[in-house]
Amino acid sequence: MKPAGYRLVGTALALLGLLAACGFQPLYGSKSGTILAPDSPLNRVNIALIEDREGQILRNYLIDRFQPDGSGRYVLVTSLTVVEEDLGVAEDSTTTRSRIVVNAGFSLTYGENTHEFTARSAGSFSTVQSDYGTLVARQNATERSLRDIADEAKVRIGAFLRRLEGG
């Protein structure tokens, strides 16, 4: 290896050492590599069943993000509506582009109190001549919207619980 190569490798190792020593830590996790810290208030949120297939998908996304431990200090109840709208219409009156709009209402119960908020996400997809292609595109747009709502719920509930618990 040429001297310039040794300098490059040395510089890269020094930068990695500085990054490790800078105090960086994940927002929701721990340094041990778990997704959520064991003492995260999100672990204590039980997620109630949500109606319909889209509700099942959203609930699974929420469980993945919250990792409830079953302690049940908080209960999250969710109502969900999914609406499909036609956006583009061809000259022969066939739809060429559609949009899925997902609205979720959340109610977090803790003791005698509740904290309510809503989240909304929209995704679009192209409709094609193949029924199967359109079905897959519709499902994909719906799942993307549900994933966005689960991410938003995690951030909003996490921030609320940190304020509530004084952390």
Residue 84, pLDDT score = 93
Residue 71, pLDDT score = 75
How buried is 61 (Cβ within 10 angstroms: 0-12 exposed, 13-18 middle, 19+ buried)? buried
State yes or no: pLDDT of 17 exceeds 70: no
State yes or no: pLDDT of 64 exceeds 70: yes
Backbone phi, psi, residue 127, to 5°: -95, 135
Residue 60, pLDDT score = 96
How buried is 90 (Cβ within 10 angstroms: 0-12 exposed, 13-18 middle, 19+ buried)? exposed
Among candidate residues 66, 83, 82, the one with its CA nearest the CA of residue 74: 66
Range 51-60 average pLDDT:
96
Residue 88, pLDDT score = 75
What is the value of pTM for the model shown?
0.74
Task: Taking each helix axis as running N to C, give the angle between helix 52-66 and helix 131-164, from 0 to 180 degrees, rounded to the nearest 10.
Answer: 40
| 98-157 residue pLDDT tens | 999 999 999 999 989 999 999 999 999 988 888 898 899 999 999 999 999 999 999 999
Q: Which domains does the chain have, with CATH numbers?
A: 30-164 (3.30.160.150)
Whole-number Å distance between alpha carbons of 19 and 3: 25
- And the tokens for 114? 């509740």
